[in-house]
Amino acid sequence: MVTSVEKKAESHVVVDTKEEEQAMGLLDGAKDGISPDNSMFSHLSLEQRQQLNNANNNAKQALSTIATSYASKKFMGGCAILFPITFTLYVTMWFLNFFDQFFSPVYFFFFGFHVFGLGFITSMAFIFLTGVFVSSWVGGGLLWVGEWFIKNIPLVKHIYSASKQISQALNPNVENAPAFRECVLIRHPRHGEYAFAFVTGECLFQKSDGAVTLFSVFVPTNHIYVGDIFLLSSEDIFRTTLSVREGIEIVVSGGMALPATLTPLESKLRSAHSGAGLLSS
């Protein structure tokens, strides 16, 4: 016959088992992100409540971290896609507006309305016709007279001379123009380090034991129009298969347009003073 003491012990075991099952269920619910209410904590001990709170906080923190990481990745992905598109549209619109503003007031004055792009088309046609006219004998004569007049103005002649050198460097019709000849690599600033440079010219460095040919290279910094000029021997210049356009893209993009592999050319950079001229790629 079961005594009353044994019955009480069995009842305590059943109660403890039920409490453990409820506590484990609450812990599982907290791990799944379910927040229990205060009535569910009434029969639990302080230690069990702390465990439930910690599990609930960890679940919330994990969900918050995942959501933040997902939103950050998607936002940066959107910026990476929209930035080149927006920048291209901005530069294109600035270019159109810049040339459109020259002839748009003329059309508005005569016709009383403004058509976007009409001034731009007129500007392009005007530039083309100017090139055709200057190529003729009459246009060349008028250009010579205009340059002679400008070169006799004290301050303006220096500005015109510098701007003309830049325009001649970009003019494909001018032979032996001081433009960027090649995109090369040079040893700079220390041995074992290299920098992108553009060959712009050459000169003879007369020393007591003979003359040495030095090449003038332009090393751009932040922008393609700002940089340093170095005079280097041919042994310190490494020719590559990169074109000038590809070199400019690498500089402007901060190195992000750098190809995966740079292929050097076997031929050395030669001097025009030796009669060979600068080798073409």
pLDDT at 261: 80
pLDDT at 30: 47
pLDDT at 1: 43
**Looking at residues 222-226, what average pLDDT do you find?**
62
Residue (of 41, 31, 86, 37) closest to 62 by Cα position: 31
Please tell me the distance from the alpha carbon of residue 64 to that of residue 71, in angstroms, as a whole number: 11
- 132 falls within a domain: no
- 95 falls within a domain: no
pLDDT at 267: 52
- The alpha carbon of 155 is separated from its chain's Cα centroid by a whole number of angstroms, namely 38
Q: Is the pTM above the cut of 0.75?
A: no
Please tell me the distance from the alpha carbon of residue 270 to that of residue 222, in angstroms, as a whole number: 29
- 36 falls within a domain: no
Strand bridging mode 194-207 / 210-220: antiparallel
Residue with tokens 């403890």: 16
pLDDT at 217: 84
- 269 falls within a domain: yes
Residue (of 175, 231, 168, 183) closest to 203 by Cα position: 231
pLDDT tens-place string over residues 133-172: 888 888 888 888 888 888 888 888 888 887 777 676 666 5
Task: Provide the β-strand partners of residue 186.
Answer: 195, 237
Q: H helices within the chain, ranges in order?
A: 4-31, 46-111, 118-135, 137-151, 156-170, 244-252
Q: Is the model more confident about 147 or about 274? A: 147
Provide the mean pLDDT of the chain: 73
Structure tokens at 278: 């600068």
The phi, psi pair for 238, rounded to 5°, reads -115, 120
Look at residue 239 and tell me whether its pLDDT is greater than 70.
yes
Give 224-279 as a DSSP string: TTSEEEEEE-GGGEEEBS--HHHHHHHHHTTTTT--S-PPBPSSPPPPGGGTS-PP
- 248 falls within a domain: yes
- 10 falls within a domain: no
Please tell me the distance from the alpha carbon of residue 40 to that of residue 28, in angstroms, as a whole number: 14
DSSP letter assigned to residue 69 = H
Residue (of 173, 169, 183, 176) closest to 281 by Cα position: 183
- 199 falls within a domain: yes
- 260 falls within a domain: yes
Give me the domain span that covers residue 212: 182-274
Domains of the chain: total: 1
